[in-house]
Amino acid sequence: MFRHQGKSRTFKHNLQIATFLSFVAGIVNVTGFLSIKQLTTNVTGHFALFINDLSNFEFWKGTIYFLYIFAFLLGSFTSSFLIENFRENKKLNVFVLPTIIECIILLSIALISNFIEISQPDIIACLLLFAMGLQNSFVTKISNTVVRTTHLTGLFTDLGIELSQLFFQKSYPNRKKIKRTILLRVAIILFFFAGGLLGGFLYSKIDLKLNTLIIGALILLVGLFYDDFKYRLIMTKRKYQQRKIKRLAA
């Protein structure tokens, strides 16, 4: 689900990575909000607060919301830059790089919180927003802008549009494609919700606090290793079959 790009990428690949990453985003979203009382997977609310502070001439107060927005933007830029920089290396799965960085950020925040009291929550917010910018950027690129996993506003908008299209068969005859897209949107929403539920449960009921982010990082790592193992297994089978055909031909 991480390796296939372009024409080789199927609906199944997009569905897999969409559910997988939206689940992680749900965990990060709730954990971030419960720990520092800030939204850490999107910037829509922060932008509104930034504009509000500027309109009230509270420029210094609005600076922090600008930093939140910039952190998400920087994460998106970094992810895209790494992907484009290493794209020509065919042996390297370029989408692994931003995913590994995201894992490192989540693990670092969780582990450091066990030894140091969080006195600067704004730094945590910026780091989480940077990580979500990374994730949203690479999943957008790998799916060719079909999938986004860190926020739901656009998803609900697209879902509403696509549901309405089902009532106009003459104008939109490709109902199979519309239904598959609707399935993708619904899956992202449900898994984001499920990740949020798990994050809230682990944070509050199990009392993991910021260690809940470790679960998100582990899920990402498991997904990477599984994807790499599956890829190597397929390549090994292909090489074995090619050798077998060559022996038979000889």
pLDDT in tens, 203-220: 999 999 999 999 999 999
- Long-range Cβ pairs for the range 77-86 (8 Å, 24+): 77/133, 77/137, 78/130, 78/133, 78/134, 78/137, 79/133, 79/134, 79/135, 79/137, 79/138, 79/141, 80/137, 80/138, 80/141, 83/138, 83/141
Average pLDDT, the chain: 86
User: Is the pLDDT at 26 greater than 90, yes or no?
Assistant: yes
What pLDDT, on a 0 to 100 scale, did the predictor assign at position 1? 59
Q: Which of 126-135, 173-182, 212-221 has the lowest mean pLDDT?
A: 173-182
The pair of structure tokens assigned to 236 is: 């090994």
For the segment 82-105, what is each residue's pLDDT rounded down to a tens digit?
888 877 665 566 778 899 999 999
User: Is the pLDDT at 232 greater than 70, yes or no?
Assistant: yes
pTM: 0.88
What pLDDT, on a 0 to 100 scale, did the predictor assign at position 129? 96
What pLDDT, on a 0 to 100 scale, did the predictor assign at position 152? 82
User: Is the pLDDT at 133 greater than 90, yes or no?
Assistant: yes
DSSP state of 188: H
Give the largest CA-CA distance in the chain.
82
Q: Are 30 and 213 in contact (CB under 8 A)?
A: no
Name the percent of the chain in helix, strand, coil, to the closest 5: 80, 0, 20
Numbers of helices and strands, H then E, in the chain: 8, 0
Distance CA 195, CA 42 (A): 16
Angle between helix 175-200 and helix 153-165 axes, rounded to 10 deg = 150
Neighbours of 116 (CB within 10 A): 9
What pLDDT, on a 0 to 100 scale, did the predictor assign at position 90? 58
* Tokens 């922060």 found at: 46
At position 201, the amino acid (one-letter code) is F
User: Is the pLDDT at 77 greater than 90, yes or no?
Assistant: yes
Please name the residues in contact with 13: beta carbons below 8 A apart, sequence gap of 6 or more.
1, 4
